[in-house]
Structure 1
Amino acid sequence: MRSACWPRCCRSRSAATRRRPPRRRCPRTRRKPPRRRPTAEPIGARSLCARPAEGHHGPVSGAPWVLVHLAGPLRVDRGGTPLAGAELGSRKGRTLLRLLAARRGDVLPGAEIAAVLWPRESPSDPDAVVASLVSRLRRVLGPNAVVGGREGYRLGAVEVDVDRARQLLADAERAAPAPAGVGAGAALELLGAAEGSPEPDDEWMAPVRSEVTVLRRRAHHLLARTALETGEPAGAEDAAGRALADDPLDEEAVRLLMRALLARDLPAEALRTYERLRRALADELGTDPAPATRTLYDAALHGEAPVVSAVPPPADRLRLAGRDAELGLLRAEWEGACGHRAGLVLLTGEPGIGKSRLLEELAETARRSGGVVLSGRAFEGERSVFAQPLVDALASAAETLPAARIRAAATGDGTLGRLVPELAPFTDAVPVPPAPTPAVERSQSFAAVTGFLRRLARGGPVLVAVDDLQRAGRSTIELLHYLARHLGSAQVLLAAAVRTGEGDDVVEPLRAVGTTVPLGPLPVDAVALLAGRAGHESRAADVMRRTGGHPLFVVEVLRALARGDGGLPTSLQTAVVDRVAGTGEETGRLMRAAAVLGAAFDPLVAGELAGIGAAAALPAFERAFKARLLVARGRQYEFAHDVVREALLVATPSPTLQAWHARAADLLSADPEAVARHAEAIGDRPRAARAWLNAAEAALARFVASDAILLATRAAAIAADLEDAPDPPAGSSGPSAAAPGPRTTTRRPATAPTG
């Protein structure tokens, strides 16, 4: 099948052209077009358009996630795109997928698979046919979807709806009422309606059908309990009735229904419900209702309020030492969002104090309760991009959510499609031209984001998480403030991490519309707990004395002890430098050069800055990545912690830093903000002023007027200082004398793109 995403000029036109040895590359993507394959069993154009997985082995973080739905008709969500019917392959291929998903975890020999696919008469070479079907499934779902070979196959990097629903319910049963109800609803949405599936009623699917029924009843029980706890007896009555529809002998559902009827002052109906259960149990099982059910009967008979046993508080499953109070605040904010009360929470603290970790734990809590998580991060040099971290967070929905849900939230919003290009295909709207004035453009953009989040939250609560907010531009802060004030009863929680000292101007305007959660050092008992987990409980007091309870300091010191170092490092800088040195001299030089570029950097640019070619630089950065000094963010690397970068900068001699800043300004000449930062670092103030002005012009062209004013103000301040400065004495090199010798003249940087 030909892929529609390839230009016609890049496709094969005949059998003769297909036999040509070289396949021409697409002039746009530089990728070779896919080979034509037989079309006897359609596999869907989407699979051929998918990007190939990268990496040497195992699942790839950037690969589309795959969810197989066994409850109801067989269908698959691949990276948010639904696949069903012929898109998944032939009838035999779909049966193979159902079999592997139903028997997930088991290695199925080819003979067992063949017996299911061909119960009466098998082909002459069933192993070859099974291998062909597996190959087609891998093309549709990904190379790791099915693992094994002719000795046997099993389901690989694929999730099944039954497993996800079971985990959602397990987490919901330990949660507070509001998120518990969200989790139960998400599980029911996965499990679908109770009617049967049009798929063949195979005997090997019986365990799956039975588990789906049990999980549906369990979800309805939980919905009924949460409705009773939140004072909604009508909702509890409906949920308990649905559980009884699946199993009329479900005593737990009967008890919940009786409690709901008693809460509605309907004791006679509660007595009739009990009597129906008593007769059914006597006729079918020859037994009586359980004591707990008879207790409710007595309460209804005498007009008394039913006695409900106390439910223990949810267990702390996050295992974060010394952060119980902070976790309690975050849970309360999420429970409020689940209860239709939008909110904003700011995590503040110094670098390495644990802000990002708590933000990740909040995101995990949201996922476990069935919520949606949209994540973004602010980066240096992107202040002039309108609401960059929030736009990135919204764009992530295109990769993580089903297309139908995105389309329901985005349809008809042309402004949203222009603001977030990744969502444009889901708007089904004619492109909207930019507004005539920046003020109108800002107003329309804010309204579009608010409307999208409101509509998205109709399908369940949404967490929007932004890390490193101190690096964000003014437009991001203004949009967060607007969202916090206008989301109202939407099931949306906005959460952000801000560095103390650098983000004071960020926290102050948001403090009045949100909740601030400051993070400080760990207490003594938490450090002792961490030391005990690392096997160094006897050194806990010494670790506390040396680190002051700073989480990153504590972790680095304990890692040093785990490596068998003779003693505790005297400072975090020493610990970080030692870890970098352990990755090799070349990696250390590259890491120091990368630190000059910023918190996030292009590895090829860092290699050129350090004078190391790509062939050597890329493996060196991979060593730093494996040592957890770096994390991968798309096409860039990012320092795992800001203090890692800061320690490397301190450890680099000043002449080297000056030379690298000068070289970086040349390498990044197309990015005026980067040029300005590096020019200021070497004291080349005229060049910095011109670069800040170019950045302001670019921001203004993107309708980010507030950031344009800030950038232009910086340029004007430098220009004023230069104008007021006394003339340099004869023979002096002038205001830019701090620049290295080879840069006695300054080249004007290229103007940044304004589109």
Structure 2
Amino acid sequence: MGRFAVIRDGHEVDEPEYRGRKARALLRVLAVRQGQFVSNDVLAAALWPDQAPASPAANLQVLVNRARRAVGWTDLIHTGPGGYALARPPRCTVDTEVFLAAVERAGRLHGPEAYAAYREALAPVAEPLPEDTYADWSQPYRSRVLQARQIAWERAAALAIDLGEPAQAGEYATAAAAAEPLREAAALTLVRALAAAGDQAAALAHFDRYRRTIADELGLDPSPAAMELRQIVLRSEPPRERKSPAPEPRMAGSPGSPGSPELLEFGMLRFVGRDAEVRQIVAGLSAGVVRVAGLSGSGKSRLLEAVAEAVPVVGVAAYWADRDEPWSLGRTLLRKLLADERADPEALPARLREALAHLLPELDPPATTFDPETRNALIIEAARRLFAATPGRVVVVDDLQWADPSSVRLLGGVAGRDGGPRLIVAYRPDELTAGGTADWLRRLPGLPAITLGGLPEPALADLVDDGGIVAAIATETDRTPMAVAEVLRALHAEGVIEPDRAAGRWRATSPVTAERARQVGRAGQRRAIANRAAAHEGPATTVLQILALLGRETSVRTLAAAVECSQPEALVLLDELAAADLVRLGDQGWRTAHDMVAEVVVADLTAGTRARLHARLATILDSAHVDLDPAHIGLDSARADLEVGHADAAEQARHWLGAGDTVRAAGAYARAAGRALDQMADAEAERLADAGLATGDAARPVRARLLEARAQARRRRGDIAGARDDLRTALGEYPGGPARAAVLAQLAALDSGADDLRHAAEIAELALVEAGGDDAARARALEVASVIDMNFDQPARAEARAAEALAIYTRTGDSRGAARILDARAMATFLHGGIEAGVEELDRAAHLFERSGDLMRAVTPRSTCGHGRVLLDRAADGIADVERALDVARTLGHPEGQSYALWHRSEALSALGRPGEALADGQAALEIAQRLRHRGWTATAWRAIGLAHQSAGDLAAALDAFRESLSRSANLELFGCWAAARAALACVGLGRLDEAAELVSRALATGPPLGLHEARWAAAALAVAGNDLEAPAVVRAAVAAASTAGAQIYLRPLAELLSRVT
């Protein structure tokens, strides 16, 4: 009441503490609905009535945090499903709510008690929400408070007259008449008060003013009761009430009144018949994952709500319309997780925060642009750490069958891991497609799925107090909660059942109720939904149709644009539909109350109406994307595009297709597929490209883009033959030039990987011809051709082409292309024995990957660079590089990279004479490699363990470890050579020279140049131990080879051997 203020511990919170007026306005909007969750849509419409920001949820989160900090109490505002709520009493009180409660309480009393209650209620009265007098959002609440104040003034005055307090009666009556001069009850109350005070002239004068006013303003005469009062005053009879006033009747719409929604609306069925399933789900969480399967209408969502009352959950739902939008479900999950104050993004390492900011634009803008694969890995690792910060939370995913593959990977990355959340997934088994989500579900731990069927008859009897109705529902429906609700809703609408509030059940009001239940059940729930929808017309019907076609939660802004009305008008329409249980408010906006409602509404659309609405939606989405002002929401254009661009393109494609415009649909599908590829969302990209090609009307350039997109997605998913077919078809769409060269280069790379090198070489040459002077096309063709030349043992031409490609990439600023060239050249140099040159090139390649944000690819060259420094006998420098790589791998949640870096660090520690630490790292590398079933890293981890034992002087344990490494090195020449050589050295030390000889022969026969250094060392050690006459020559040859390659770490043991034979 009066000027808005927040009082904390007796002191008002100063306005500057809010850091802006919007945070104060947010508190006022929440205050008028204290204790109720207010949706983001309602809040956005109130705070930004002219134009909401592009990301209202993000902006609201900022305002909520400001309000919490200003007041100094985080629990002041509760975060709920798609909105916020102000804390309830007694910890938080709102003076207008106190006033309304006091007036209601006074209305239930009589005589002096009522009068005292009204006086107490009216003592602090003032104008409600004066700052928001003209705001649309405040009008209903202001009207409610003002109406309550008016009634309180009038009844307090009447009671004062009856109780012989005319002066107080005049004060209240004067206030009432001044506030509502055209209200007869107020005018007559003042007339009575003045007459009771003995001022007959003033009473008659006020009556005459009132009569003139309503005649001038309204063209009306006073009522007969008013004229009767005037005659009483004229006769100077005390105009006292004939009896003590009765309690004030409740206003229509208040709980329990005849006009209230509580009695007029059907509402939601009580939760019955699923208690055993709730217990089973809660008990099953001990296994980490619980699956719930059920057809549409079987009550999965309601069951999950009941589970949420038993355990703390983070609940999300997938939508059919978002199934091809990468990260759509994951983005919602992460936002809900961050609403928990324990999940503080500021506590994450900088790289993880920046990766999250690419996905969630409301976070601080990232300073780094990551490669998509790196970014995705960082996001999953960030999610793991955020969940670890909020232990005990259960992730609940509804309608998993519609989850996008990127989000499914996120769920797989956090569920079932140490510190990860427990998981409940609900899905429709009939809508799961083979592969993808279905395969992931089968791999999850836990018990078999809990399958939901119809409700048992005892559960129906808990809802309905009539055996005939129960029998009708049981025999004429499938007894699913949706079917039961539709029958009861139809019966209630016909007036043949009514609620028994005391018993909590429905009861019949007509002898024909059971028969009507049979008829309604037999007609089916879909017909009942159609009848319910048909009861609405005009804009409300359009809103329902739009929501049905969208198939996802939608903002009021989009709906208002589609229906061509204001946002407040759209909210009125949504309230109408929500009262009929046709729509409901979700986390991100409005949607149909159930997917079956959408299916029924869409099925009943005429072809023309459907096409018209699809075209309208496609146009709105297109204009919304084009008109998006990133500066308005504080985002750069790239992040804005990542947030909304793909979703717009995929949705536009679907709506243009529904409108019959297949040309525009194909173009939108091509854009959506390209953006999905940019996010490493290959499954989504392939599906979108399939849909675009299926339109059949794509222009040649668009068709070529769709084919290329599908080829790239198929290649990355392992379908090499399918990718090759798509690229060959795409060639036909390009008559020549750089675009054709790009396709040829991709084909050559595919064929070289498929061992068809000669054909690959021919295609690469064609790519070079078609590329002409185009830098990008020529560089890519040169890069592919150089790899093929290397495989054809043409090192000079391979090096020349790689050098030219590198020069182009460097000149054009393509750091990732340059890094790829350098990485391949560096690894080849290193493996061919050029250790010092290889280390320099590996360092440069790693630096380029790091600078370009491609951290996933940076791990291997950076760690290998560190290993190379160990071989150069600079182990201390090497550890710094390896630990840098290990830190990145851990940040990315990249276990292969962790295992790789750990065995490198273990080897460096052994070289530094720190065997205990080396053994711990080797064992850690082994544990990861075995968990991943990575044979190569398992072999190298055993090598690291063996080196640690060897460094500690335990040759027997070292030999066992090297033999373990050797047993896992089949067809891994470098690792096999190393293992055989080290096992031979251990055998020499143990005096088992025959075994050593066999191992030396094996090492020398299999090793590449890098591995042969250890093989020569083992051969030299065996020759010296066996007093071989050729021992000096063998040692000197090993020293010469190591010196030439820069393998300094071997020179000291070789020098010691040489000293023994010279």
SS class of match (1:365): coil
State the match for 2:357 in structure 1: 418
2:383 is aligned to 449
Q: How many angstroms apart in 2 are the aligned matches of 1:362 and 1:36?
A: 37
The within-5 A match list for 1:293-308 is: none
For residue 510 of structure 1, what is the amino acid of its counterpart? L
**Which structure 2 residues correspond to residues 200-239 of structure 1 after superposition, within 5 A?**
none
> Aligned partners of 2:67, 2:616: CA distance in 1, in Å?
48
Q: Note the alpha carbon deviations across 1:533-586, whole angstroms, 9 max, x for none.
A: 233432112112221122201111012222325623211122112222344554
Q: Which runs of 5+ in 1 are unaligned?
A: 1-33, 65-77, 89-96, 110-125, 153-317, 724-755
Note closer, same or farther for the CA distance 1:667–1:585 as it changes in structure 2 (3 Å cut).
closer
**TM superposition shift of 1:479:** 1.6
**Offset from partner CA, 1:413-467 (integer Å, 9 cap, x none):** 3245425537846xxxx9352323x33222222222112212322xxx0122222
**Would the aligned equivalents of 1:665 and 1:678 in 2 still touch at CA under 8 Å?**
yes
- Decide whether aligned partners of structure 1 residues 688 and 43 sit closer, same or farther in structure 2, where only a CA change above 3 A counts: same
Query: Which residue number corresponds to residue 316 of structure 2?
Result: 376
CA distance in structure 1 between the aligned counterparts of 2:88 and 2:598, rounded to whole angstroms: 49
8 A Cα contact 2:337 2:386, kept in partner = no
Is the contact between residue 333 and residue 493 of structure 1 (CA under 8 Å) also seen in structure 2?
A: no
Shift of 1:481: 1.9
Q: Which residue of 1 aligns with 2:279?
A: 328
1:571 aligned to which of 517, 521, 524: 524
Residue 513 of structure 1 corresponds to which residue in structure 2?
Answer: 444
Superposition map of 1:574-593 within 5 A: 574-584=527-537, 586-593=539-546
TM-score after normalising by structure 2 = 0.38
**Which whole-Å CA distance do the structure 1 matches of 2:394 and 2:5 have between them?**
42
- Structure 1 residue aligned with 2:454: 522
CA contact (8 A) 2:304 2:396 kept: yes
Residues 672 and 688, structure 2, Cα contact 8 Å, conserved in 1: yes
2:484 aligned partner, one-letter code = V
Match of 2:705 in 1: none
Structure 2 equivalent of residue 595 of structure 1: 548
Relative to structure 1, is the Cα distance of residues 653 and 546 closer, same or farther in structure 2, using a 3 angstrom cutoff?
Answer: farther
SS at the partner of 1:321? coil
Matches within 5 A, 1:256-335: 320-334=271-285
Write the distance in 2 (CA, Å) between the matches of 1:443 and 1:667: 34
CA distance in 1, matches of 2:488, 2:366: 55
Match of 2:996 in 1: none
Distance (whole Å) between structure 2 residues aligned to residue 381 and residue 81 of structure 1: 34
Q: Is the 8 A contact 1:699 1:705 kept in 2?
A: yes
Aligned counterparts of 2:360 and 2:316: Cα–Cα separation in 1: 16
Higher relative contact order (CA 8 A, sep 6+): 1
Q: Report the equivalent of 1:694.
A: 671
Q: Does 2:617 correspond to 1:664?
A: yes
Distance of 1:40 and 1:541 partners within structure 2: 64
Kept in 1: contact 2:345–2:353 (CA 8 A): no
Question: What displacement does 1:654 show?
Answer: 2.8
Letter in 2 for 1:467: D
Structure 2 CA distance for partners of 1:58 and 1:534, relative to 1, 3 Å: farther
Q: Secondary structure at the match of 1:58?
A: coil
Question: Cα 1:627–1:432, aligned 2, differ >3 Å: closer, same or farther?
Answer: same
1:479 lines up with 2:410 in the alignment: yes
CA distance in 2, matches of 1:333, 1:471: 24
> TM-score w.r.t. structure 1 length?
0.51
Aligned residues: 455
Distance of aligned partners of 1:537 and 1:431 in 2 relative to their CA distance in 1, 3 Å threshold: same
CA-atom RMSD in angstroms: 4.8
How big is each residue's C-alpha offset from its partner over 1:446-493, in whole Å with a ceiling of 9 and x where there is no partner? 222112212322xxx0122222322221101122122224x2354x21
- What residue number does 1:62 align with? 38
Q: Residue 355 of structure 1 corresponds to which residue in structure 2?
A: 300
- Asked if 2 retains the 8 angstrom alpha-carbon contact of 1:406 and 1:456, the reply is no
AA at the equivalent of 2:33: G
* CA distance in structure 1 between the aligned counterparts of 2:432 and 2:614, rounded to whole angstroms: 24
Between the aligned partners of 2:441 and 2:345, the Cα distance in structure 1 is 31
Q: Distance in 2 between matches of 1:535 and 1:562?
A: 14
What's the counterpart of residue 406 of structure 1? 344
For 1:456 and 1:493, how far apart are their aligned partners in 2?
12
2:573 is equivalent to residue 620 of structure 1: yes
Q: Displacement of 1:633 after TM fit?
A: 3.0
Q: Which residue of 2 aligns with 1:637?
A: 590
**How far, CA to CA, are the matches of 1:410 and 1:710 in structure 2?**
34
Amino acid at match of 2:18: R
Q: Per-residue deviation at 1:719?
A: 4.7
Structure 2 counterpart of 1:562 = 492
Given the alignment of the two structures, is residue 680 of structure 1 paired with residue 619 of structure 2, yes or no? Answer: no
**Aligned-partner Cα distance in 1 for 2:331–2:65:** 19
- Does structure 1 residue 535 correspond to structure 2 residue 447? no
% identical equivalent positions: 22
Cα deviation digits, residues 58-86 of structure 1 (max 9, x gap): 3341389xxxxxxxxxxxxx967896998
Secondary structure in 2 aligned to 1:477? Answer: helix
Unpaired stretches in structure 2, ≥5 consecutive residues: 41-62, 74-86, 103-119, 133-137, 150-268, 497-512, 626-647, 701-1062
Partners of 1:102 and 1:681 in 2: how far apart? 51
Q: From the superposition, tell whether residues 102 and 654 of structure 1 become closer, same or farther in structure 2 (CA, over 3 Å).
A: closer
Distance 1:55 1:63 in 2: 10
Which of 18, 41, 50 is residue 46 of structure 1 equivalent to? 18
Instruction: Give the SS at the match of 1:456.
Output: coil
Distance in 2 between residues matched to 1:597 and 1:332, nearest whole Å: 37
Cα distance in 1 for residues equivalent to 2:419 and 2:568: 54
Q: Partners of 1:497 and 1:600 in 2: how far apart? A: 19
Instruction: Report the CA distance between 1:395 and its aligned residue.
Output: 1.0
Contact 1:580 1:588 in 2 (8 A): yes
The counterpart of 2:432, out of the listed 497, 503, 512, is 503
Deviations 1:716-735, CA, capped at 9 Å, x for gaps: 44459999xxxxxxxxxxxx
Q: After alignment, is 538-547 or 632-641 more displaced?
A: 632-641
Once residues 358 and 294 of structure 2 are traced to their aligned partners in structure 1, the CA distance between those partners, rounded to angstroms, is 31
Whether the 8 Å CA contact 1:580–1:587 is kept in 2: the answer is no
Distance 1:61 1:99 in 2: 15
Name the CA shift for 1:422/1:130 in 2 (closer, same or farther; >3 Å).
farther
Equivalent-residue separation in structure 2 for 1:556 and 1:83 (angstroms): 43
Cα 1:583/1:424, change in 2 over 3 Å: same
- What is the letter of the counterpart of residue 639 of structure 1? T
Alignment of 1:600-611 (within 5 A): 600-603=553-556, 605-606=558-559, 609=562
Does 1:713 find its partner at 2:690?
yes
Please state whether the residue corresponding to 1:600 is helix, strand or coil.
coil
| In 2, Cα distance between equivalents of 1:327 and 1:98 | 29
- Greater radius of gyration (CA): 2
Once the two structures are overlaid, the 10-residue window that deviates more, 354-363 or 558-567, is 558-567
Q: Deviations over 1:596-646 (max 9, x none)?
A: 232433455445555667675442222012222211236631111011111
